[in-house]
Amino acid sequence: MHFRDFISSVMFSVLLNLMILNLIFGVQRAFSSQNLNEQTLELLMRPSIKKEGKFLNYHQERNPTMVKGFKLMWKFLFSDNQRKPKQKLSVQPVNLEIFKQNSKDYLSSTWLGHSFLMINVDGYRLLTDPVFEKKVSFFGPSRYNGEVPIKPDSLPEIDLVLISHNHYDHLNKFSIKALQHKVKWFLTPLGVKKILVNWGMPQEKVVELDWWQSWNFNDELQIVFTPTQHFSGRNFFDRNETLWGSFVVKGPVHKIFYGGDSGYFDGFRGIGQQFGPFDLTFLECGTYNVKDWPDVHMLPEQTVQAHLDLGGKILHPIHWGTFNLAFHPWNEPMERVSKAATQYGVRLATPIVGQSVIFPDQIPNEAWWQTGEQEEMKRALNY
């Protein structure tokens, strides 16, 4: 391992999602969605590619400079920019009856903070990237939106757990072990099965998927693992050794998209062309940084664009309001998402932690993140 790679790996471990990649892409597009041409779509629909043991994104990457990496780490550790709310955020007790529904024509979700969701698609029960723990790693930040309002023991039997990638805020050892006996199947990207098996999970419970690979449950529920523009790694030396991605979930009646972590890229249009439209899209909107890592997390306006690319009906923003992982104020993502959504006529679901969305009529949409600090922030952002 070159010294530069080593330094960069160390920083990654400390900062979790602060991957300091300067990819070439990430420029905001206009708010319209045109189909990709056949050639681009064909290129996009390939399986993942590995080079020297590391998975690659679709678009070429440039390495960060060492000096820049240290500057960022310093800023993250010692700067203060309203990254956490001043007051405790409200949390609602989970209504399990919503998750337990058996109807074959039903769609609901319950947000448990960050990217952790309980979803019922046409009677099938799914969890996404479950994290019950308050702190995701030794160095990592703690949840600032209170405890997860449900314990693993209280959950009913679960059909599937979807794991988007192996970052600590998405793949949590305690949570996976606590869920092991409740869950029929765990679906993971290539390379992640080994981690679960090392934690004691039976091999036969884990299905590993490559990009565009499809898997069926009960001949009724179709899951397709789809690409994202991101990265992976859990320690100093394993960067990009396992794959990252998103999931299309197609039930007998409803269809959803769970986006995992991703920068904005033309993959969203490709996925929309292949599998859209979607009743609900769950897309990340926090942890962005236009200057330092523009391409592995989306800007809030790009979240709205990705939703349009996918052909989504209702956008449920995730990956915000839970862990302090970037420099922006904690509620800025939703200020910007809601502004862009209003501008482009996108319907938003904005539950508080523990609250449920029931498609299509019970869609919480209060701007609950607006606080006393808000006016100050709006002025700063020139809204």
Question: Nearer Cβ to Zn ion, position 140 or 251?
Answer: 140
Question: Nearer Cβ to Zn ion, position 326 or 340?
Answer: 326
For the CB of residue 298, give the shortest distance to Zn ion in the complex, in Å.
12
The answer to whether 167 contacts Zn ion (rule: CB under 5 A) is yes
Question: Nearer Cβ to Zn ion, position 167 or 255?
Answer: 167
Question: Nearer Cβ to Zn ion, position 11 or 150?
Answer: 11
Question: Nearer Cβ to Zn ion, position 284 or 309?
Answer: 284
The answer to whether 307 contacts Zn ion (rule: CB under 5 A) is no
Question: Nearer Cβ to Zn ion, position 18 or 304?
Answer: 18
Cβ 111 vs Cβ 129: under 8 Å: no
CA distance 26 to 204: 39
For the CB of residue 2, give the shortest distance to Zn ion in the complex, in Å.
24
Enumerate residues 17-56 that contact Zn ion by CB under 5 A.
none
For the CB of residue 235, give the shortest distance to Zn ion in the complex, in Å.
14
* Cβ neighbours of residue 368 closer than 8 Å, sequence gap 6 or more: 90, 350, 352
Question: Nearer Cβ to Zn ion, position 125 or 167?
Answer: 167
Residue with tokens 């179709």: 222
The answer to whether 250 contacts Zn ion (rule: CB under 5 A) is no
For the CB of residue 230, give the shortest distance to Zn ion in the complex, in Å.
6
Which residue stretch of 30-38, 61-69, 173-181, 253-261 sits at the interface with Zn ion (rule: CB under 5 A)?
Answer: 253-261
- Mask: binding to Zn ion, 118-157, rule CB under 5 A, as x and -? ----------------------------------------
* 3-state secondary structure string across the chain: CCHHHHHHHHHHHHHCCCCCCEECCCCCCCCCCCCCCHHHHHHHCCCCCEECCEECCCCCEECCCHHHHHHHHHHHHHCCCCCCCCCCCCECCCCHHHHHCCCCCCEEEEECCCCCEEEEECCEEEEECCCCCCECCCCCCECCCCCCCCCHHHCCCEEEEECCCCCCCCCCHHHHHHHCCCEEEEEEECCCHHHHHHCCCCHHHEEEECCCCEEEECCCEEEEEECCCCCCCCCCCCCCCCCCCEEEEECCCCEEEECCCCCCCCHHHHHHHHHCCEEEEEEECCCCCCCCCCCCCCCHHHHHHHHHHHCEEEEEEECCCCCCCCCCCCCHHHHHHHHHHHHCCCEECCCCECCEEECCCECCCCCCCCCCHHHHHHHHHCC
* DSSP 8-state secondary structure symbol assigned to residue 153: G
* DSSP 8-state secondary structure symbol assigned to residue 347: E
The answer to whether 261 contacts Zn ion (rule: CB under 5 A) is yes
Which residue stretch of 76-84, 151-159, 160-168, 220-228 sits at the interface with Zn ion (rule: CB under 5 A)?
Answer: 160-168
Question: Nearer Cβ to Zn ion, position 167 or 328?
Answer: 167
Question: Nearer Cβ to Zn ion, position 121 or 296?
Answer: 296
For the CB of residue 319, give the shortest distance to Zn ion in the complex, in Å.
9
For the CB of residue 17, give the shortest distance to Zn ion in the complex, in Å.
5
Q: How many residues bind Zn ion (CB under 5 A)?
A: 2
Which residue stretch of 58-66, 126-134, 159-167, 365-373 sits at the interface with Zn ion (rule: CB under 5 A)?
Answer: 159-167
Which residue stretch of 112-120, 257-265, 266-274, 342-350 sits at the interface with Zn ion (rule: CB under 5 A)?
Answer: 257-265
Residue 348, helix vs strand vs coil: strand
Cβ 230 vs Cβ 262: under 8 Å: yes
Which residue stretch of 76-84, 188-196, 261-269, 326-334 sits at the interface with Zn ion (rule: CB under 5 A)?
Answer: 261-269
Question: Nearer Cβ to Zn ion, position 189 or 251?
Answer: 189
Which residue stretch of 56-64, 87-95, 136-144, 256-264 sits at the interface with Zn ion (rule: CB under 5 A)?
Answer: 256-264
Which residue stretch of 101-109, 193-201, 255-263, 275-283 sits at the interface with Zn ion (rule: CB under 5 A)?
Answer: 255-263
Binding region for Zn ion (CB under 5 A): 167, 261
